[in-house]
Amino acid sequence: MIAFSAQMQATVDFAADLIRQSKRAVALTGAGISTPSGIPDFRSEGTGLWAQDEPLEVASLQTFRTAPEKFFAWFRPLAGQIYHAQPNVAHLALAALEKAGKLVSIITQNIDWLHQKAGSQTVIETHGSLHTLTCAQCYRKVDAENYIDEFVATGALPHCSTCGGLLKPDVILFGEQLPQAAWSQAQTAAQRCDLMIVVGSSLEVLPVAGLPMQALERGAHLLIINRTPTYLNVRADLVFDQDISIVMPAIAEKVLNG
């Protein structure tokens, strides 16, 4: 157990009280919750993926359709990191809160499936998931487990065993609409919650970045845990800019064990 300053402990206690008192708490997670698991985020200065590559040139639906080799060459090292990553203590903390009935659902912008690996049951994936692939020709959906290792090892593009079409990871690329069912579920969760906990999201990517505002407009409380400022810091009940892998477990521990 990490020893906090008196001021920090009081803030953790207040956050825990918000969660205990809520009836319909929802978490919204972004890339920052997965960086302790070894997955790079997209926008951190100097280290983010977009510091090295122009997103529209490598991670767009247009590139996948017209130059799939270019897309897969960029995606190959990232795919291995994501698929074999393991949940960290922040993921486990959210799973524990859900299991205890203190969290209704998790809305995530991440594609890494780490919430599910941690044990979370109700996860709304607004940007898709690397867990499955879909054939661009016959639309057959397959488990990524049967393709990822060979793709990472050899760079061979994944093809459908039924029709031979190219398999697309079920992640949302630039120029692609969010999955309708997931987006509808995310909006409903945001509009019905009485507390939204933002964990590891800079709230820069629309339309998901607008979900906390929808919650606020309906009277919900807002707790933000993120290294960098967000546009809603001034509206939040509490803001933590410390390490997520320290703060989130400490809050969960206080909620669950007092």
Catalytic residues: 127
Q: Distance from CA of residue 4 to its chain's centroid?
A: 27
Q: Which two tokens stand for residue 155?
A: 């760079």
84 Cα distance to chain centroid: 16
How far does the chain reach from its first CA to its final CA, in angstroms? 14
Q: How far is it, in rounded angstroms, from Cα 81 to Cα 190?
A: 30
Class of residue 65 by CB neighbours under 10 A (exposed 0-12, middle 13-18, buried 19+): middle
Other C-beta atoms lying within 10 Å of the C-beta of residue 113: 20
d(CA 97, CA 120) in angstroms, rounded, equals: 9
**Pairing between strand 141-143 and 128-135?**
antiparallel
